[in-house]
Amino acid sequence: MSGSLFADASKRLEKALKYVAISEDAGERLKYPKNSLSVSIPVRMDDGSLRIFQGYRVRYDDTRGPGKGGVRYHPKVSLDEVQSLAFWMTFKCALLNLPFGGAKGGITLNPKALTKAELERLSRGYIEAIADFIGPDIDILAPDVYTNEMIMGWMMDQYSIIQRKISPGVVTGKPVTMGGSVGRNTATGTGAFYLLQAMLPKFEQYPSNTTLAVQGFGNAGMVVAELLYQAGYKVLAISDSQGGIYNEQGLNIPEIIQHKREHRSLAGMYCDETVCNLGDNLQISNEDLLALPVDVLIPAALENQITAANAKQVQARYIFEVANGPTTSEADAILAARGIPVFPDILVNAGGVTVSYFEWVQNRSGLYWSVAEVNERLQTRLVAEAESVWRIAQEFGVSLRTAAYIQALNRLGEALDAKGTRDYYASKA
């Protein structure tokens, strides 16, 4: 296993393997990705120049069903990162008992530096390059960091052009008018909210006595912050890539969302700008936010935000990971020693892939559900799996992260072992 992020992610697997009775064959197969694809994507820019972008798609495991995972556009996208994300998706899908394997994709770029027309050409070029690698029964795409339903619509349309047939099931998170599911765009944040509401009472934390900080104010962070605010929780701080704001009396999340949508960042939300009516909010950095004395910290940005370097400064009592991989394995050990429970990413942010599954099912059946039906199904499935993870953690005396991997490993192991193991082939019966 090469690559620091993937090596760190794999440590979670090694720890959980001690508590499961899966075969040696299954454990070995889960240490390596099944397929990895690197592609070059030529794009004619608006000024007539030609640029080549690097893209990736990794299908980590498809024992339980076709690969499933998002596509992210970000300057730091690398094969190591995409492989790690596909690894996490494998266990996330198994944990939620979805009939999918794990996959992920990405393109290395700053999407904010491209025009909409250039982004469309790039997105369609990516599908041209990986078309033989994906499909409704092979590997299904979805939005991720800096991709959205419009980009998913371009990708689905391009795949359909290549296949010469309408293929809505190859992509989830697409526009509703193109076969998308209602509730998918907000599913990650909505699912995280359902899980917080179900788990916090175990610690006697209720809306009236719980303060929170949300790092990352993209789609998922924005949705969970707004739902928490509406439920009566006090959100003291939020941040995006440009910085954050803090108010010990609590932030007015709906007003902040309106400003964010109008100005595309939180940077202007101070009294020396034009929005003094938003209150006396203090400017803070992302690093400051992670160290705030709140009850609940919600990292909803990128990987490796809580590390060995800053884990001792975390003052939150509980952490709910909405981002993928925001806590390193070294930080996990520090937080555990300090008695800070970490609800893991593969559970907390699983709302997105769960509703992606619902969308895929709707595409295949041609029957579409209301947003109330989608959210009810999401809440039922996510809370049930969270309760299972909680019971496993109590039973084995392990962290919630290890408990989540134990649950996922048991399901993956059963599927892998069904294809035959060393013990099966060595037996004389």
Residues labelled catalytic: 104
Return the DSSP state at 114: S
Question: Which residues 6+ apart lie within 8 Å of 337 measured at CB?
Answer: none
DSSP one-letter string for 316-351: -SEEE--SSS-B-HHHHHHHHHTT--EE-HHHHTTH
Please tell me the total number of residues recorded for the chain in this structure: 429
Name the one residue in this structure whose structure tokens are 């266990």.
91
Q: How many CA atoms does the CB half-sphere of 24 hold within 13 Å? A: 3
What does the alpha-carbon distance between residue 345 and residue 324 come to, in Å, rounded to a whole number?
A: 6
User: Tell me, what amino acid is at 121?
Assistant: R
Tokens found for residue 84: 């790690």
Number of H helices, E strands in the chain: 15, 12
Contact 40, 74 (CB under 8 A): no
Return the DSSP state at 171: B
Q: What is the largest CA-CA distance in the chain?
A: 80
CA of residue 373 relative to chain centroid, distance: 22
Beta bridge partners of 142: 70
Contact 211, 245 (CB under 8 A): no
Beta bridge partners of 212: 235, 296
| Of the candidates 321, 46, 375, 372, the residue with the CA atom closest to the CA atom of residue 190 | 375
In which order are the strands placed within the sheet that holds 318-320?
282-284, 243-246, 234-240, 211-215, 296-299, 318-320, 342-343
What does the alpha-carbon distance between residue 343 and residue 320 come to, in Å, rounded to a whole number?
A: 5
Tokens found for residue 287: 């690093």
For the purposes of burial, counting CB atoms within 10 Å of the CB of 229, is it exposed (0-12), middle (13-18) or buried (19 or more)?
A: buried
244 φ, ψ (degrees, to nearest 5):
-145, 180
What does the alpha-carbon distance between residue 139 and residue 137 come to, in Å, rounded to a whole number?
A: 6
